[in-house]
């Protein structure tokens, strides 16, 4: 089983006032098969962690390490990370003009698997995955994210997750903006992928709501650019009652 190991990760982002440190020593180990919820107040650096793991060029790693089975992830290009099995579902997925969902998925699968999936089985695989997520078949021919509703974007993320089968999935605010029905469909998709047994999931969220559908093995409170506390699922219940106040008060 693969292990993703984040050690004392420090990351800065370029702002008008020069480089600003956002991640201040993140330590986290995720094994395949485990689900970790990362919860924290807005602006604590959760998305910065997700983007840094995916290799977004805006974020500069100034210290620490990220290793996938001992291999240095930070040395890998974005594509190499995807091929190595690290998948990021974006909080604000970008539009890809002129590229249909169907082509986008096949191109991604080809990049990750190293060869194009056989067309006939692939079409069937996509159709079945879409059915499970209650996605209209016509959706496959639409351009990626063009005019997608919030719920369609999230379903599309989970569709990618189901079809691309990464070793590690980073889901950033997958629950935001979903109504209860869409939340259930999306959560069921995540749970199906989990039941496959070989995905390690980082479920990043501000709210505890999605944790009623997806039971995490570990909960981490993220505050001021690092993990302030870790525990089991019961920590989410405490956060639901008490909020994040105790973690944000006081100086940096
Ligand atoms: P969260 O996802 O927990 O809400 P973010 O990682 O989005 O937090 O942001 C953490 C902090 O870093 C915020 O103060 C935010 O303004 C800043 N930040 C993040 N990304 C950028 C960026 N690309 N440019 C400037 N500031 C950024
Ligand atoms: Mg440090
Ligand atoms: Mg965020």
Residue nearest (by alpha carbon) to ligand 1 atom 21: 13
Q: What's residue 217's pLDDT?
A: 96
The CATH code belonging to domain 3-94+167-248 is: 3.40.50.300
Which residues contact ligand 1 via a Cβ below 6 A? Answer: 13, 15, 22, 40, 42-48, 58
Please state the domain extents for the chain. 3-94+167-248
Hey, whose CA ends up nearest to atom 5 of ligand 1? 45
Cα–Cα dist 51/54, whole Å: 5
Could you report the predicted ipTM of this complex, rounded to two decimals?
0.94
Distance 1 CA to ligand 1 centre (A): 32
Helix (H, G, I), strand (E, B) or coil at 91: coil
Q: Ligand 3 mean position to 189 CA, how many Å? A: 21
Tell me the pLDDT of the chain (252 aa) as tens digits: 899 999 999 999 998 999 999 999 999 999 999 999 999 999 999 999 999 998 888 999 999 999 999 999 999 988 788 888 888 766 555 666 788 888 889 988 887 788 899 989 999 999 999 999 889 989 999 988 888 888 888 888 889 888 988 889 999 888 877 888 888 888 998 999 888 878 999 999 988 889 999 999 999 999 999 999 999 999 999 999 999 999 988 655
Q: Tokens 């996938």 — which residue?
A: 68
Distance 23 CA to ligand 1 centre (A): 10
Ligand 1 atom closest to the Cα of residue 44 is 3
Rounded CA-CA distance 57/18 in Å is: 16
DSSP state of 212: G
CA angle 167, 170, 49 (to 5 degrees): 125
In this predicted structure, what is the pLDDT of residue 144?
85
Which atom of ligand 1 is nearest to 91's Cα?
Answer: 2
């Amino acid at each position: 089983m693969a292990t993703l190991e984040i050690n004392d990760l420090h990351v800065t982002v370029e702002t008008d006032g020069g480089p600003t440190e956002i991640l201040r020593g993140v330590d986290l180990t995720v094994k395949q098969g485990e689900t970790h919820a990362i919860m924290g107040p807005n602006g604590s650096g959760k998305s910065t962690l997700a983007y840094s793991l995916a290799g977004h060029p805006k974020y500069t790693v100034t210290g620490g390490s990220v290793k996938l089975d001992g291999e240095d992830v930070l040395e890998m290009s974005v594509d190499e990370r995807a091929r190595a099995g690290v998948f990021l579902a974006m909080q604000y997925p970008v539009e890809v003009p002129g590229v249909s969902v169907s082509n986008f998925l096949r191109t991604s699968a080809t990049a990750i698997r190293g060869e194009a999936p056989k067309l006939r089985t692939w079409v069937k695989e996509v159709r079945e995955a879409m059915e499970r997520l209650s996605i209209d078949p016509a959706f496959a021919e639409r351009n990626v994210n063009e005019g997608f509703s919030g719920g369609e974007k999230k379903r599309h993320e989970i569709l990618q997750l189901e079809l691309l089968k990464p070793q590690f999935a980073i889901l950033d605010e997958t629950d935001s903006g979903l109504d209860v029905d869409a939340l259930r469909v999306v959560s069921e998709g995540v749970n199906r992928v989990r039941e496959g047994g070989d995905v390690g999931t980082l479920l990043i969220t501000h709210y505890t709501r999605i944790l009623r559908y997806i039971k995490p093995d570990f909960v981490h409170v993220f505050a001021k650019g690092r993990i302030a506390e870790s525990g089991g699922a019961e920590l989410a219940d405490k956060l639901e009652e008490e909020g994040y106040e105790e973690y944000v008060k006081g100086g940096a």
